[in-house]
Homo-oligomer: A and B are copies of this chain.
Amino acid sequence: MRSANLDEIKSALDVPAAIESIEAGFVALSSGAATVPPVGHIGFEAPPGECHIKYGHIHGDAVFVIKIATGFYENPSRGLATGGGMMIVMSAETGEPLSLLDDSGYLTDVRTAIAGCIAARYLAPDAVECIGIVGAGMQARMQLQYLRHVRDCNRVIVWARRGERSAAYRREMADAGYDVRVADSLRDLCDSSNLIVTATASTAPLVRSEWVRPGTHITAMGSDTPGKQELDPLLFARAGVCAVDSLPQCLDHGESGYAVAGGHIAEASLVELGDIIAGKAKGRSNPREITIADLTGVAVQDIQVAKAVWSALRNWA
């Protein structure tokens, strides 16, 4: 088994190839061509932490992937990142371990950012005037930087609950070549942008429906576990397309679950991103409609990003 460290993984990562790979993963998930067992979980109390094990196989693939992801919430006080983990690529023909991607959770950030980028590819307006970023953490940075692969827009407006974090985000993204303004308010952010990404740990709606301009696309990616919420459920009633990464998962703990439970839209109005990619469901059909992508994170993203990196590493060897 070949092990790859974080530097090797970063060098091997070809973002356009990983985007294609993850798109194919969403299509496989939505068409029933993936086996994705329930996520394994073990919790720890002192210090508080948890470990998730996500794994699965896309039918016909020569490999399958196991991801181990950890979150230990007192790590920052030790000077360590909260999240960590690794991905293991295994042969689906012999069971042999082929590659250990010792990525400390980096590829999870990547595959999450790529899902946002895929949602924007199929749903965002062709002409993005300004990108609104809600949140100022790791995903707020990565989502913006990955969007450049699908939409050409340099203008950014950012909002975070804590003003000093927005200011730090503005400086850092300006260094990366973006023209960033800190929003006066969330309403200001919505007024100024037609592609919005929410990437917070919020547990109550942040973006009010009436603030959102016609023609806007919103990707919400903070609802990765039960109890989180970023969007006003009323927005779903206004949207022309309500896309989800996984229907059962989004109904369970995504933004869409609140909208369906509240009677704002019918479950049948939700479409899976994989079906939009495959052309089985419609994406954006006119420049005035609002579109939403509700992303909770699915194992096919892990499988596909690991495969993309593993293929590149193998070609080097």
Q: Does A316 contact B (CB under 8 A)?
A: no
CB–CB B53/A42 < 8 A = no
Interface size on A, residues (CB 8 A): 40
Q: Does A248 contact B (CB under 8 A)?
A: no
Q: Does A204 contact B (CB under 8 A)?
A: no
* Residues 134-190 of A at the B interface (beta carbon under 8 Å): none
Which among A40, A57, A83 has the greatest number of chain B C-beta atoms within 10 A? A40
| Residues of chain B within 8 A of A1, CB atoms compared | 86, 102
Query: A40: which of B40, B80, B93 is its contact (CB, 8 Å)?
Result: B40
Query: A47: which of B38, B86, B93 is its contact (CB, 8 Å)?
Result: B93
Contact A95 to B70, CB < 8 A, known contacts A37-B41, A44-B57, A100-B100: yes
* Residues 74-100 of A at the B interface (beta carbon under 8 Å): 75, 78, 80, 83-86, 88, 90, 92-97, 100
Binding site for B on A (CB under 8 A): 1, 3, 35, 37-38, 40-44, 47, 49, 51, 53, 55-57, 64, 66, 68, 70-72, 75, 78, 80, 83-86, 88, 90, 92-97, 100, 102
